[in-house]
Amino acid sequence: LAKTTQPVSMDSYEGQEVNITCSHNNIATNDYITWYQQFPSQGPRFIIQGYKTKVTNEVASLFIPADRKSSTLSLPRVSLSDTAVYYCLSERDDKIIFGKGTRLHILP
């Protein structure tokens, strides 16, 4: 399974667009990239998943370049409630391993 590397923490302000980049240099052909959000004392919540290029849903966009060695989660116009830990994972049909995640702190 590909090991992922993310910034430990990030700060941003309400209303801004936040981009969190994750590197996964050893990603395998069958791996998908999935991002989860976790609030304190709650289970992770699925945000978005992609294989390559760009994926967009109602809460985020995911950009994956052609070499798939990195991915960027984009959160448009963040609010205080987006303060959480964000995990980037490579996921196949067996299991996923969580990295340390990025602690995002949104300031008023």
Partner 1 sequence: GAVVSQHPSRVICKSGTSVKIECRSLDFQATTMFWYRQFPKQSLMLMATSNEGSKATYEQGVEKDKFLINHASLTLSTLTVTSAHPEDSSFYICSARSGFGADTQYFGPGTRLTVL
Tokens of 100: 């340390």
Residue 101: how many other CB atoms lie within 10 Å: 23
Site string for partner 1, 78-97 (x = CB under 8 A): ---------x---x-xxxxx
State in angstroms the smallest separation of the CB of 87 from partner 1: 7
**Proportion of the chain in helix, strand, coil states, percent, rounded to 5:** 5, 50, 50
What is the length of the chain?
108
Among 20, 27, 34, 82, binds partner 1 (CB under 8 A): 34
Among 9, 11, 25, 51, binds partner 1 (CB under 8 A): 51
3-state secondary structure of 93: coil
Which of 14-22, 30-38, 67-75, 76-84 is the region at the interface with partner 1 (rule: CB under 8 A)?
Answer: 30-38
Based on C-alpha coordinates, what's the Rg of the chain? 13
Among 22, 68, 90, 101, binds partner 1 (CB under 8 A): 101
